Each structure stands twice: as structure tokens, then as C-alpha cells.
Structure 1
Amino acid sequence: MWFRRRRRRGLKPFDESKLPRRTVPTVAEAADEGLILTEYAARMVVKNRFILKVLSGTEPWSRTRGRDVARSTLEHLARESEVDAENLGILMGKLRAIPKGERDAQGYDRDDLPNMKHRLAVSVELAHRLRERSTNDTYLDNLVERARGDAWREVAANIEHNLDIEFSPVDADYGRYRARRMRQLVNEDLAALAATVENKAASDWGAL
């Protein structure tokens, strides 16, 4: 038996013009977002250096050393943004030379030029901001201090995880008093570890 599809009434044709207008972030807004990511990357580099070198006892640490690591990382990230801008500039020059409507080997055409111009401006602005921060000792010290806190939290979490694996419950009160044992671990064992590292660090580390 054949059924006739019932026609829906009252539906209007799709009108693309009624969709919310897509807003493109400004150069400053896009640079702000990029700065958040690059600052996080720099903090992770400093944190990992702290864990690998200081806690392993292979390298002394100081505020100046942490600042140097942070500065070199920001300079490296700034250079990456500058290279991105340079490459975009070269690509834009090639696109301007091809006939309108044709595409290059990567699939770009002249219609992509406005977007590339925006990306280039963002890369230049981001590199500029990173360069500024790499010469700001107050900013660098703050970044290093946050990275140091990240390192200690990671060490504490790793110790707690290893203890959970190594020691299985031996009685019914194990779970009840677990929180108390964890506090003792942080207040006593981790404090002892911190004191050991502090003795190895240079005197100008300050708050360590």
C-alpha cells in the first residue's frame, strides 16, 4: 500500500540572513586569548624545570634562575609568533600574484587575504606583548611563583597517588581516617621534602 506523505503546513523556507551575525574578534581580543595560552605554556616549562632539576637535586634553584627560564621561554614563544607573521606575509604576497579565482598549491586564494591579514596582525601583536613581558621582572617573578606552586601541588598529588597504590586498607577504619593521614602527609612528609629543597636552593629564592 502506498502512503502519501502529508505535507507540513506553515513552514517557511530557511532564511540564512536571520542567523546571528558571526563576530570576528578584534586583533587585541585575539591577542589576549593567545597570551593566555602562551603564558600557561611558559608556566608549565618553569614548573617542569623545577620538578626535574630542583627536586631531583641535580640543579640549584633561585629566583633569578627561575626568572631566566621564564624569560627565555617567553622569548622563544615570541619568536614563534614572529615567524608565523613572516610566513603569512610571504604567503599573502604569493596570493596577490595569482589571478583572481585561482588557488595555490595549499588551496588558498585571494579571498583568504583578509583573514590572513587579521592573523598576521594578531601574531605581530602577540609577539610584541610577549617581548614586553619577557623584560618585566615583576611579571616574571609572579609567573615563577605560580609555577613553583604548580610544582608542589603536582608532587603532593603524586605522593598521595603512590601511597594509595602501595597501601591497601587493613581495617574498617582505613577509609574513615584517610583524610587525616593525607593532612599529616602534607604537613609533615611534604614539609620535610620542602625543607630539603630549600637548603639546596640559593638564598635569593626568597619564598621557597
Structure 2
Amino acid sequence: MVVWRKGPKKPARPYVAPPEVELPPVSHAVEDGLLIAKSWASLEVKNWIVVRALRDGADYDPEATAAAVRAELDRMAAEQEGYAERVGEERQAAFQKRGNAKHQHDYRAGDLSALSRRRSVYAGLADALVDARNDDEFVAELAETARERAWEDIARALEANLDRVAAEPVVDESYRRARAQRLRWLRDIDLARLIEDHVADEKAARKAERSDKKSEKQRDKKSGPNPDAGASVNADPAGADPVDESAGKPVDRQAGRGAAR
């Protein structure tokens, strides 16, 4: 019976805490949020320009576009202020809570620092959006970016529409009168060409088939007849006496020769 014995326990390695990650300052997070908000505002204003041009047939108006940019910035600033207020309320509710969280939105006292930072980012981004809304140069740059993106979409739609219109024939009286001539061209030119191509393909296929058969016959001739074909099963290549199949005995060649004399 084999008895397994446990060896000596290896000494446990001392626990080494991971290095602390230094969070970037709140100002960096606000700058990143402002860049994202700028891109989103440009997209919203671009859609507004496209809808206004294609649906309403309105020309581009710089003042109306600048007003649309400011309205979008105001909307996003109010949204960030609402987020800051909500996080502040959640921080107050989490101040008296202890223990482990039950889900990701169950904030406890250990989350106060993260909630404070989050509230500062929301509030800072709201202030930055308000400042951008009052900056005429920022608004003009964002409006120009939205106009260029809108023109790219409109130009793409116009090109597709022109291609579709150019592909459709204009049906008028002369088009109807020329219908008989077009049908004759279809019969005498297009269909005749298709028939010629089909006949040429069939001839090429038959020629290839005959060539294959001819090559196969030539290979059979070069290989020659089978030397064992047609040989008698009772013939002896060494000159032995043949066997009389009816009697099952060998035939005497000398006796046969004397009888012939």
C-alpha cells in the first residue's frame, strides 16, 4: 500500500500591494469631456442642417446655425448640471451607509471620494459648456464644421439621385415611335450575337472532345497489344508436348510425324 506524505509547506510570499494609480486632475477630465461634447454638438447641428435643407428646402443661414449651436450647448450644459445634482444626492445618501454594496449603484461610505470627484467633473463640464456657448469664436468654428459635414452628406445624396435619374430613360413620343426600331436592333444585333457566341461555344466543346478521343487512341497504339492476349492456356512456351483436352493426356509428337510419313 502506497502512502502519500505531504511535503513541507513552502513559505508564503509576503503580500505586496499594487502601486497606487494616481488619478488625473479634474481639469483633464473636463477637457476630454468638452472635446466629446463638441463632436456631439457638431453631429447634432449637422443633422439639423441636412433636415432643414432637404425637407424644408431652406438655404444655409449662418445666424440660424450659430443659434442652433448655442441651443445644443445649453442643452448639454443643463444635462451635466442635472448629473452633478444627482451625484450630490447619492453622496449624501451614501454618507450613513456602511458595509458592502449590493449592486453597482449601491453607494456606501467608501465611495464618497469617487462620488465627490464625479460631481466635480460634471459641474466643471457644465461650466465649460456655458463658457463655450458664450464664446463667439468657438461657436463659429463648430458651426463651420457642422456645415462642411452636412454638405458632404447632401452632396452624396445629390450624386446618388443624379445617377438614378440619368439611368432612367425619358419616355416621350419619339421614344415610343422608335420602339419598333429598337426591337429590330435587339433581334438583328443583340440576339444574333448571342446565338453566334452560343454556336461557337458548342463547336469549341465538340472540337475539344474529338481531340481528347484522338489523344486517347494514340496512347493506346503506342502502348501496343497485350503479349498475353490470345495465347492458349495449354501452350507451353518451353516446347513441351501439347495436351489433348478431350483425353487429358499429352500428345506424342514423334508418333504423329511417323504417321504422317
Q: How far is the alpha carbon of 1:152 from its aligned partner?
A: 1.3
Over aligned residues, Cα RMSD in angstroms?
3.0
Partner AA of 1:28 in structure 2: S
Aligned equivalents of 1:47 and 1:124: distance in 2? 27
Cα 1:22–1:160 change in 2 (3 A) is farther
- Tell me the equivalent position of 2:73: 74
Aligned equivalents of 1:108 and 1:75: distance in 2? 30
Cα 1:164–1:13 change in 2 (3 A) is farther
Q: Which runs of 5+ in 2 are unaligned?
A: 1-11, 168-261
Higher relative contact order (CA 8 A, sep 6+): 1
**Secondary structure of the residue that 2:95 maps to in structure 1?**
helix
Aligned pairs for 1:195-206 (under 5 A) are none
Aligned equivalents of 2:100 and 2:49: distance in 1? 52
Cα 1:20–1:165 change in 2 (3 A) is farther
Q: Deviations over 1:163-207 (max 9, x none)?
A: 788999xxxxxxxxxxxxxxxxxxxxxxxxxxxxxxxxxxxxxxx
Partner AA of 2:155 in structure 1: A
Cα 1:16–1:158 change in 2 (3 A) is farther
Aligned pairs for 1:1-20 (under 5 A) are 17=17
Tell me, yes or no, if the aligned pair for 1:85 and 1:121 is still in contact at 8 Å.
Answer: yes
Q: How far is the alpha carbon of 1:134 from its aligned partner?
A: 0.7
- Tell me the equivalent position of 1:154: 153
- Tell me the equivalent position of 1:132: 131
- Tell me the equivalent position of 1:118: 117
Kindly name which structure, 1 or 2, has the bigger radius of gyration based on alpha carbons: 2
**TM-score, scaled relative to structure 2:** 0.52
Aligned equivalents of 1:159 and 1:58: distance in 2? 13
Identity over aligned residues, as a percent? 26
Tell me, yes or no, if the aligned pair for 1:42 and 1:74 is still in contact at 8 Å.
Answer: yes
Partner AA of 1:128 in structure 2: D
Partner AA of 1:101 in structure 2: G
Aligned equivalents of 1:23 and 1:111: distance in 2? 18
- Tell me the equivalent position of 1:38: 37
Q: How far is the alpha carbon of 1:34 from its aligned partner?
A: 0.7
Tell me, yes or no, if the aligned pair for 2:96 and 2:109 is still in contact at 8 Å.
Answer: no
Tell me, yes or no, if the aligned pair for 1:95 and 1:104 is still in contact at 8 Å.
Answer: no
Cα 1:140–1:97 change in 2 (3 A) is same
